[in-house]
Amino acid sequence: MFMFGLTWYFWTITTYGINVPSGLFLPGMIVGTALGDLYVHIILEWGWIQPEHLLKFRVTYLALAMAAMLAGYTRMTYSIIVITMETCQSVSIFVPLVLAVGTSNIIGDCFTRSLYERAVRGKQMPILTKHVPHSNKFLRAEKLMNPNVVSLKAVDTVENIYNAIENYTHHGFPIVNTAERAVGYISENFLIVLLQQRKFYNKTEVEHANSQAALCHSESDDPYACEDMLDSHDFPITKDYDILPWTYFRRTY
């Protein structure tokens, strides 16, 4: 039984992470039952249990070992208990299952993360953890934020947009109006698509937007309601690149 469990463990850790869908749940169940059967034979050899007891409760020991093994590397709780109870078709093992799964989770958390959390971390997926790390628990946002914010104007040139995309690794940039007030946010991918497809506003459309914004400004008591209206004094914008003549971005109300 020891060689059986060792063989399954070896092939499980060998095939983990490859493109072939080998699975993790079923190998964990097999390795757990193998370890449980090995444990039962060890305590039988030591005389801790009687052969009659082993014949009666052998399946229970294997089920507890299987659940503890799965909980140890997946950190799952209720689902493992329910799956094990349905597999054994026994409600009487609920309390031993809770103790086994809970102990396995506590011991596992003392040493490492779960297997799925490590997989997510290895793929650099932006998922928050359950608990704040101790080194970051009292860290203020001002220690992480950069006072020199890279932003784009509501009416901006191709040069500024190109420099923002090329020189910085941000995934997006805030949009500010003429009063340097943040009015929106645009992602880097959206900017690239706009530049590639040459989705620009012509001067007539921008002047029309100015007239609409001025009308909105005259009817509103809020001085910042239409503060990001387009400024006609920005025309003409110098053609800095041969690829794209000029571009405008405006906020839609």
Give the torsion sign (CA, 55, 57, 59, 62). Answer: negative
Distance of CA 225 to the CA centre of its chain: 36
The stretches of the chain forming alpha helices (DSSP H) are: 2-15, 25-45, 51-74, 78-88, 94-109, 115-122, 158-167, 188-196, 203-218
Dist CA 31 CA 23 (whole Å): 13
pLDDT at 11: 81
Backbone angles phi, psi at 175, to 5 degrees: -105, 130
Report the chain's mean pLDDT, rounded to a whole number.
Answer: 77
pLDDT in tens, 55-111: 788 888 888 989 998 898 888 888 889 988 888 888 888 999 999 999 999 998 888
Tokens describing residue 105: 């989770």
- pLDDT (tens, 9 = 90+) of the chain, 253 residues, equals 778 888 888 888 777 767 777 777 888 888 888 888 888 888 888 888 888 887 788 888 888 989 998 898 888 888 889 988 888 888 888 999 999 999 999 998 888 888 888 878 777 777 777 778 788 888 888 888 878 888 898 778 888 888 888 888 888 899 998 888 888 888 888 888 888 888 776 667 666 666 666 555 554 444 444 444 444 343 333 334 333 333 444 433 3
Query: For residue 103, what pLDDT is reported?
Result: 92
Q: Domains plus CATH for the chain? A: 2-122 (no CATH), 146-234 (3.10.580)
